[in-house]
Chains A and B, each alone.
Chain A
Amino acid sequence: MINRLTGQLDFQAQALALRSERQRVIASNIANADTPGYVARDFNFSQALRDATASLPRPPASGAASPTASNDLGAPIAGPLLDGGFGRLKPTTDLRYATPAQTNLDSNTVDMDRERAAFADNALKFEASLRFINGSVRTMTDAMKSPNQG
Chain B
Amino acid sequence: MSMFRIFDVSGSAVSAQSQRLNVVASNLANADTVAGPDGQAYKARQVVFQTALMDAGGDPASSAGVRVSTIKEDASPGRRVHDPKHPAADAEGYVTYSNVNAVQEMVDMISASRSYQNNVEVMNTAKNLLQKTLQMGQS
Interface residues of A (CB under 8 A from B): 16-17, 20-21, 23-25, 27-28, 30-38, 41, 86-90, 93, 95, 112, 116, 119, 123, 126-127, 130, 133-134, 137-138
What residues of chain A lie closer than 8 Å to B50, measured between beta carbons? 35
Contacts of A138 in B (CB 8 A): 139
Please state if A134 and B119 are interface contacts (CB–CB under 8 Å).
Answer: no
**Docked-complex contact B49 and A35, CB < 8 angstroms:** yes
Q: Count residues of chain B with CB under 8 A from any CB of chain A.
A: 40
* A31-B10, A33-B115 known; A38-B64 Cβ under 8 A: yes
Q: Select A87's contact among B57, B66, B128, beta carbons within 8 Å.
A: B57
Contact B136 A27 (CB under 8 A): no
Q: A33 to B10, alpha carbons, bound, how many Å?
A: 11
Q: Which B residues lie at the A interface, using CB under 8 A? A: 1-3, 5-6, 9-10, 12-13, 17, 20, 48-51, 56-59, 61-66, 111-112, 115, 118-119, 122, 125-126, 128-129, 132-133, 136-137, 139
A20 touches B2 (CB 8 A): yes
Distance, CA A23 to CA B119, complexed state (A): 13
Cα(A34)–Cα(B111), bound, Å: 9
Pairwise interchain contact A24-B62, C-beta atoms closer than 8 A:
yes
Contact residues of B: prevailing secondary structure: helix
Closest B residue to A27 using CB positions: B6
Contact of B119 among A31, A93, A133 (CB under 8 A): A31
Nearest 10 interchain pairs by C-beta: A31-B13, A20-B3, A28-B64, A35-B49, A137-B137, A27-B6, A27-B122, A31-B9, A27-B9, A28-B63
Whether B58 lies near A23 (C-beta < 8 A) is no
- A130–B134 CA distance with the chains assembled, in angstroms: 10
Taking A24-B9, A130-B136, A137-B137 as contacts, is the C-beta distance between A36 and B49 under 8 angstroms? yes
22 of the cross-chain contacts (CB-CB < 8 Å) are A17-B2, A20-B1, A23-B6, A24-B2, A24-B6, A24-B63, A25-B62, A27-B122, A28-B65, A30-B118, A32-B66, A35-B49, A35-B50, A37-B51, A38-B51, A87-B2, A95-B61, A119-B125, A123-B125, A130-B129, A130-B132, A133-B136
B122 CB → nearest A CB, Å: 5
Interface contact A112-B62, CB-CB below 8 Å: no
Smallest CB-CB separation from A112: which chain B residue? B118
CA distance A57 to B49 in the complex (A): 47
Q: B residues within 8 A CB of A28?
A: 9, 62-65
